[in-house]
Each structure stands twice: as structure tokens, then as C-alpha cells.
Amino acid sequence: MSGDLFVERLAVVRQRFVSTLESKIEDTYAALPKLSGDGSDVIVTLEETYRRIHGIVGELQAHGLVVKRLEGVVDFRSLRGDRPVYLCWRKGESRIDHWHEVSSDFGDRRPVDKLFKPTLAN
């Protein structure tokens, strides 16, 4: 697949993950002090937020992404040569230009190099 797909998927991540997900969490924290009484409304608010977050993560996974951390770390299934790997992105990065082995994590990521074929695995 073309590099345009990377741009599309990054746009999905930025819109759904960064803006929408963060706003849901921020709205919940802002609402907590205003809730009343016995705490039951706090539980309802937190459960609703959990369902919303779960739904957003599900949407991202439907686009072939793997949410690693809610703070903004996402992997994209891909190939490096014929080997399955993850492209990885972290909140604040403008491009998807790092990767890591499927068996490792974000801390082991490396820059995309000339051996990398920019195709996404299904």
C-alpha cells in the first residue's frame, strides 16, 4: 500500500486518539468535583468514560492500529522486507518514521531505513 495510507491512518489517530480521547478524559476529570452525594454518580461517569474510551480504541483497532498506551503510543502492523513488524507513533510526532520488532516494544524502536518497505500488513 502507498505512503498515503500512512498519512490517512495517522490522521485517524490524531483525530480520534489525541483530540477525542483526551477530551473525554479531561471532561470526566472536570466533572468529578461537581458530582454529588454518595459517589454513585462518580461511578456512572467513570463507567461511561470507560465505555467511550473502549469504543474509540475499538475504532482505532478496526483501522489496523494497536493502542499500546492511552497517553498516545500506537503501533501499525507492517512489513520490513518479508518480516512482520510494527511501525510506531507517539503523541507529538508529526510522522510515522520509527518501527520495532513484533516481539519488542516501543522502547526498542528504530528509525525507518532503506530496508523498510512502506506497506501495511492486514
Q: Quick one: pLDDT at residue 100?
A: 92
Cα 95 to the center of its chain, rounded Å = 14
Q: Which three cell numbers stand for residue 54?
A: 473502549
Query: What single-letter DSSP state applies at residue 34?
Result: G
Q: Quick one: pLDDT at residue 14?
A: 67
CA–CA distance, 60 with 117 (Å, rounded to integer):
23
- Local mean pLDDT, 10-residue blocks, the chain (122 residues): 55 68 76 70 78 82 80 82 86 84 88 67 49
**pTM across the whole model:** 0.64
Q: Quick one: pLDDT at residue 36?
A: 65
In 73-113, beta strands by DSSP E = 73-80, 83-90, 98-101, 110-111
Q: What domain range includes position 23?
A: 1-122
How does pLDDT run across 10-32, given as a tens digit for each residue?
666 666 666 677 777 777 777 77
Q: Quick one: pLDDT at residue 101?
A: 92
Cα 98 to the center of its chain, rounded Å = 15
CA–CA distance, 1 with 44 (Å, rounded to integer):
43
Number of domains in the chain: 1
